Amino acid sequence: MPLNPQILLDNRPTGEAVASNFRLVSSETPALQDGQVLVRHHFLSLDPYMRGRMNDAKSYAAPQPLGEVMQGGTAGEVVESRSPKFQPGDKVVGMGGWQQYSVVNADQPGALRKVDTTHVPLSHYLGAVGMPGVTAWYGLVKIIAPKSGQTVVVSAATGAVGSAFGALAKARGCRAVGIAGGPDKCKYAVDELGFDACIDYKLHKDAASLSKALKEACPDGIDGYFENVGGMVLDAVLPRMNAFGRIALCGMIAGYDGQPLPLSYPALILTNRLKVQGFIVSEHMEVWPEALKELGTLVATGKLRPRESVAQGLESAPEAFLGLLKGRNFGKQLVKLI
pLDDT of residue 257 exceeding 80, the answer is no
User: Strands 151-155, 112-114: parallel, antiparallel or unpaired by DSSP?
Assistant: unpaired
> What local confidence, expressed as pLDDT, does residue 59 receive?
76
* Residue bearing the bigger pLDDT, 27 or 62: 27
**pLDDT at residue 60 in the model:** 75
What is the identity of the amino acid at 83? S
Q: Which pTM does this prediction carry?
A: 0.91
Q: Which of the residue ranges 105-109, 166-170, 253-257 has the most confident prediction, judged by mean pLDDT?
A: 166-170
Give the separation between CA 167 and CA 105, rounded to whole angstroms: 35
Residue 232: what pLDDT? Answer: 94
Task: Tell me the C-alpha distance between 227 and 247, whole Å.
Answer: 7
Q: What is the pLDDT of residue 276?
A: 98
- Mean pLDDT score, 286-304: 94
The C-alpha atoms of residue 46 and residue 56 are separated, in whole angstroms, by: 20
Quote the percentage of the chain above a pLDDT of 90.
Answer: 90
Mean pLDDT computed over 134-146? 98
Neighbouring residues of 318: CB distance < 8 A, sequence distance ≥ 6: 7, 19, 21, 22
Residues 6+ apart with CB under 8 A from 141: 168, 287, 291
Contact 295, 304 (CB under 8 A): yes
pLDDT of residue 259: 80
Q: In the chain, what is the straight-line distance between the N-terminal and C-terminal CA atoms, in Å? A: 17
pLDDT at 101 over 90: yes
Per-residue confidence band for 327, with pLDDT thresholds at 50, 70 and 90:
confident
Q: What is the pLDDT of residue 333?
A: 96
**Around Cβ 71, how many Cβ atoms within 10 Å?**
16
pLDDT for 253 beyond 90:
no
The 10s digit of each residue's pLDDT in 13-53 is 998 999 999 999 999 999 999 999 999 999 999 998 899 89
Q: How high is the pLDDT of residue 8?
A: 98
Nearest alpha carbon to residue 201 among 259, 162, 171: 162
What number is the average pLDDT over the span 248-270? 89
pLDDT at 79 over 80: yes
Mean pLDDT value of segment 99-125 = 94
Query: Distance between CA 23 and CA 69 in Å, rounded?
Result: 9
Asked if pLDDT for residue 297 goes beyond 90, the answer is yes
Mean per-residue pLDDT over the chain, rounded: 95
Where residue 57 falls among pLDDT bands split at 50, 70, 90? confident
Domains contained in the chain, CATH given: 3-127+306-336 (3.90.180.10), 131-282 (3.40.50.720)
pLDDT of residue 289: 93
Q: Is the pLDDT of residue 71 over 90?
A: yes
pLDDT of residue 62: 83
CB 321 within 8 A of CB 46: yes
**Contact criterion met (CB below 8 Å) for 98 and 70:** yes
3-state secondary structure the chain: CCEEEEEEECCCCCCCCCHHHEEEEEEECCCCCCCEEEEEEEEEECCCHHHHHCCCCCCCCCCCCCCCECCCCEEEEEEEECCCCCCCCCEEEECCCCECEEEEECCCCCCEEECCCCCCCHHHHHCCCCHHHHHHHHHHHHHHCCCCCCEEEEECCCCHHHHHHHHHHHHCCCEEEEEECCHHHHHHHHHCCCCCEEEEHHHCCCHHHHHHHHHHHCCCCEEEEEECCCCHHHHHHHHHEEEEEEEEECCCHHHCCCCCCCCCCCHHHHHCCCEEEECCHHHCHHHHHHHHHHHHHHHHCCCCCCCEEEEECHHHHHHHHHHHHCCCCCCEEEEECC
Does residue 173 have a pLDDT over 90?
yes
pLDDT digits (tens, 9 = 90+) for 221-237: 999 999 999 999 999 99
pLDDT at 95 over 90: yes
Nearest to 218, CA basis, from 239, 232, 202: 239
Share of the chain above pLDDT 70, in %: 100
